[in-house]
Amino acid sequence: MRVGVIGTGYVGLVTATCLAEAGHHLTCVDNDPRKIQTLREGKIPIYEPGLEEMVARNVAAGRMRFSGSTAEAAAENEMLFIAVGTPGRDDGTADLSFIEAVSREIATNLPADGTRKIIVEKSTVPVSTGDRVKRSIQRGCRPGVQFEVVSNPEFLREGSAIHDFFRPDRIVVGVESEFAAAAMRRLYEPILEGRYFDPPGSRRPAWLVTDVASAELIKHASNSFLALKISYINSIAAICELTGGNIEHVAEGMGLDNRIGPQFLRAGLGYGGSCFPKDVAAFREIARAAGADFGILKEVMEVNAGQRKKFLRKIEEALWVVKGKTVAVLGLAFKPHTDDIREAPALDILAWLDKQGAHIRAYDPAAQENVRKLFPGVAYCASPYQAAEQADALLVVTEWDEFRYLDLKRLRETMKHGIIIDGRNIFDPPAVTEAGFEYFSMGRPPVRPAGMEQSSGSSVS
Ligand code: UDX
């Protein structure tokens, strides 16, 4: 199929590339000429494993090209994806001005040639945006133009977006007609066949067709539920700290119930990134505007913000005076396998350490350059061991795999004092104490090496 994708940000670029890989012909449009130039030169402005090679392959195969013209894309393609940004505003609501601008531009350029175009809303938007897009296009298009607006929410995770695109649990389309449902089904047929599962066909993603409003709600409801799961387990972690339980055991025991499932039960510093914080806040505002009080989401946000504060109190408990101490920070990205630092806990932690007057040494395999712009005074290091040199304490902020397999004895020898404060529970307490560390983690009692007095339980709550 011939498909135009408007917006070459994260969602747009991944969607377009994967659709091209599945055999469709893609035009990627952006109104930023520098971005288009960069993409034409084969450079990818975002960090996503495997994406650069996939773009190059599909450009070389003639299935993918880059353009600055929405007008051209609207005229030439049978389907147009809107994948522009919907930034969060201070009051939690989403700024839809880019969606509106693109809708208007599409409207004036849709041909009245008897074909029925499908306009797909891919950006995460408040419920009823599809209706707005439709009205906006209806107002601006020439007589005789035929089109339909479809909602097709994305559920891609940064860092595994390509995997998620080809092996989704479900594909959701919100439509107004059989015609639109059939067109979307044709588009996703290669993925629905399950040919990307191993072995091919061993699984097939669920195909769910709904009305447009329900599809829009599915996106916000899903992300908010996952965020709720995280805040729930973090609340249980707080109870563990007060009662002497171990959150890892509690989460395992809960997750073994199929109705609950083990995913998104990792306690720690809470969620960050470009989606959960924005989507939870937006969904709460959507509910409020509709006349419903979604109080649970307020709690979800408060618990999440509280996790960072709790971690800072653990640093104080471990170090007593922070001023003048050298602190090694491992992990800066909001999660592993990405260089994205949007809403990353590390930013709050660095700001606080800086304010306290600590000397900060940091290491992250991917996000260092992004953080350097915000915190130029931090010493950025080439390895975790280098970051730990002469440090009074080491903080684990992002759970990159390489941190799990550190040589703890070597780490201890590098540091001035053996203190680890682990915001992601990546270490096994006996292993760290054996290497000579005092170890503070989330939702587990602090532990100390043999010979040091054991605490009767954490005073941190
Ligand atoms: C999320 C959704 O998973 C995805 O479906 C949607 O399209 C976009 O938002 P993403 O933000 O890339 O994806 O990251 P994800 O892997 O879901 O993690 C989100 C945040 O939750 C991270 O900060 C992560 O550290 C945190 N998290 C996740 C936990 O704290 N505990 C968990 O158990 C799981």
The average pLDDT across 47-58 equals 94
**Orientation of helix 129-140 relative to helix 97-109, angle to 10°:** 40
Q: Which atom of ligand 1 is nearest to the CA of 159?
A: 12
Q: What is the pLDDT of residues 148-166, one digit of tens each?
A: 999 999 999 999 999 999 9
Report the C-alpha gap between 431 and 41 in whole angstroms.
48
Peptide bond into 336 cis (omega under 30): no
Q: What is the pLDDT of residues 65-85, one digit of tens each?
A: 999 999 999 999 999 999 999
Residue 275 known to be catalytic: yes
Residue 364 predicted with pLDDT over 80: yes
Q: What is the pLDDT of residue 455?
A: 52
Query: Hey, whose CA ends up nearest to atom 19 of ligand 1?
Result: 271
Q: Which atom of ligand 1 is nearest to the CA of 272?
A: 23
**Orientation of helix 295-319 relative to helix 345-356, angle to 10°:** 40
Q: What is the pLDDT of residue 209?
A: 98
* CA 97 to centroid of ligand 1, rounded, Å: 26
Which of 157, 219, 396 to mutate for ligand 1's pocket (most ligand atoms within 8 Å of CB)?
Answer: 157
Provide the residue range defining the domain that includes 188. 2-210
Is residue 271 located within the same domain as residue 414? no
- Asked if the structure places residue 264 within a domain, the reply is yes
* CA 271 to centroid of ligand 1, rounded, Å: 6
Q: Which atom of ligand 1 is nearest to the CA of 264?
A: 33
Q: What is the pLDDT of residues 285-336, one digit of tens each?
A: 999 999 999 999 999 999 999 999 999 999 999 999 999 999 999 999 999 9
pLDDT confidence band for 46 (50 / 70 / 90): confident
Report the predicted TM-score, pTM, of the whole model to 2 decimal places: 0.94
Query: Hey, whose CA ends up nearest to atom 31 of ligand 1?
Result: 266
Residue 222 predicted with pLDDT over 50: yes
- Asked if the structure places residue 189 within a domain, the reply is yes
Query: Hey, whose CA ends up nearest to atom 2 of ligand 1?
Result: 157
* CA 245 to centroid of ligand 1, rounded, Å: 25
Query: Hey, whose CA ends up nearest to atom 1 of ligand 1?
Result: 157
Q: What is the pLDDT of residues 249-294, one digit of tens each?
A: 999 999 999 999 999 999 999 999 999 999 999 999 999 999 999 9
* CA 276 to centroid of ligand 1, rounded, Å: 7
Q: What is the mean pLDDT of the chain?
A: 95
Is residue 356 located within the same domain as residue 389? yes
- Asked if the structure places residue 215 within a domain, the reply is no
The average pLDDT across 337-347 equals 95
Q: What is the DSSP string of 58-89?
A: HHHTTSEEEES-HHHHHHH-SEEEE----PBP
Q: Which atom of ligand 1 is nearest to the CA of 265?
A: 33
- Asked if the structure places residue 460 within a domain, the reply is no
Query: Hey, whose CA ends up nearest to atom 10 of ligand 1?
Result: 157
Ligand 1 pocket, residues with Cβ under 6 angstroms: 154-158, 223, 226, 230, 264-266, 268, 270-273, 275-276, 334-335
**Structural domains counted in the chain:** 3
Provide the strand spans (E) within 284-406.
326-330, 359-363, 379-380, 393-396
Is residue 346 located within the same domain as residue 282? no
Is residue 149 located within the same domain as residue 109? yes
Strand ordering across the sheet containing 419-422: 379-380, 359-363, 326-330, 393-396, 419-422, 438-440
Q: What is the pLDDT of residue 185?
A: 98
pLDDT confidence band for 456 (50 / 70 / 90): very low
- Asked if the structure places residue 252 within a domain, the reply is yes
Residues 142, 112: contact at Cβ < 8 Å?
A: yes
Burial label for 306, CB within 10 Å (0-12, 13-18, 19+), is middle
Which of 156, 182, 210 finishes a domain?
Answer: 210
Q: Which atom of ligand 1 is nearest to the CA of 399?
A: 25
Q: What is the pLDDT of residue 452?
A: 80
Residues 216, 132: contact at Cβ < 8 Å?
A: no
Residue 102 predicted with pLDDT over 50: yes
Residue 457 predicted with pLDDT over 60: no
* CA 47 to centroid of ligand 1, rounded, Å: 16
pLDDT confidence band for 454 (50 / 70 / 90): low
The CATH code of the domain that includes 259 is 1.10.1040.10
Which of 122, 158, 275 to mutate for ligand 1's pocket (most ligand atoms within 8 Å of CB)?
Answer: 275
